[in-house]
Amino acid sequence: AQSVTQPDIHITVSEGASLELRCNYSYGATPYLFWYVQSPGQGLQLLLKYFSGDTLVQGIKGFEAEFKRSQSSFNLRKPSVHWSDAAEYFCAVHSGNTPLVFGKGTRLSVIA
Amino acid sequence: DTAVSQTPKYLVTQMGNDKSIKCEQNLGHDTMYWYKQDSKKFLKIMFSYNNKELIINETVPNRFSPKSPDKAHLNLHINSLELGDSAVYFCASSPHRELYGYTFGSGTRLTVV
């Protein structure tokens, strides 16, 4: 069965610093990979997705992610974090007829 | 013009009661879902409907019964509520080809006291 691991439960970065959130997946073939963001008290918003092709994908709000098959990873990055980026971030994987399977999330705190 | 709307946003009720959460999407999507988010923020699929037909029913107590009167609506009815049912419940929808990610509602925070 497919699974997603987000090794970092909580990350704190300074405003303006770069960010990388880690995601590893377990699946035999090439999965469909997603990153979602959840602001406090809100639903989940899709940041970006990967299906095939270019392994570096661009998303909304200045985020990007890179698919690395050899490492079974799909890490999320942002070059300069803004205070409004503080939220919970979820990596998710899906394939075929199975529903989205989410990682346990990484909480991002941003300090001045 | 909300894409996926859930009502109510907050629901506080006593143990043993029966309650319903409604979900509607105006995106023309074929598939709808219910996810449960526990206190540790973990999201777990509960049900999935495609064109009013149940296609996924995870290990969920049969006190939970989804109903889809048409492909734009997926309601969740919960009987005999228990303390452990307290969580945030998210409705989502996606096109038939699930390549585009899911669109989520803003969630219903259920508190059982």
pLDDT in tens, B55-67: 777 778 999 999 9
Token digits for B24? 């509607």
Average pLDDT on B22-47 reads 93
Nearest to B104 among A44, A49, A51 (CB): A44
Assess whether pLDDT exceeds 70 at residue B98: no
Assess whether pLDDT exceeds 70 at residue B68: yes
Assess whether pLDDT exceeds 80 at residue A104: yes
Residues forming a β-bridge with A93: A33, A101
Average pLDDT on B30-59 reads 88
∠ CA A21-A35-A68 to the nearest 5 degrees?
65
Average pLDDT on B5-23 reads 97
Distance from CA of B106 to the nearest CA of A (A): 4
Give the mean pLDDT of chain A: 92
Q: Output the pLDDT for position B95.
A: 86
Nearest to A99 among B48, B90, B106 (CB): B48
Q: How many other CB atoms are found less than 10 A from the CB of residue A26?
A: 13
Assess whether pLDDT exceeds 80 at residue A29: no
Question: Cis peptide leading into B8, omega within 30 of 0?
Answer: yes
Helix, strand, coil % over all residues of chain A, rounded to 5:
10, 50, 40
- CB B107 to CB A90 under 8 A? no
Q: How many other CB atoms are found less than 10 A from the CB of residue A112?
A: 6
| B59 vs A57, residue with greater confidence | A57
| A97 vs B62, residue with greater confidence | B62
Assess whether pLDDT exceeds 90 at residue A71: yes
CA distances (Å), B84 to each of B39, B48, B111, in order? 10, 22, 9
Q: How many other CB atoms are found less than 10 A from the CB of residue B24?
A: 19
A38 contact residues in B (CB cutoff 8 A): 41
State the pLDDT confidence band at B85, using cuts at 50, 70 and 90: very high
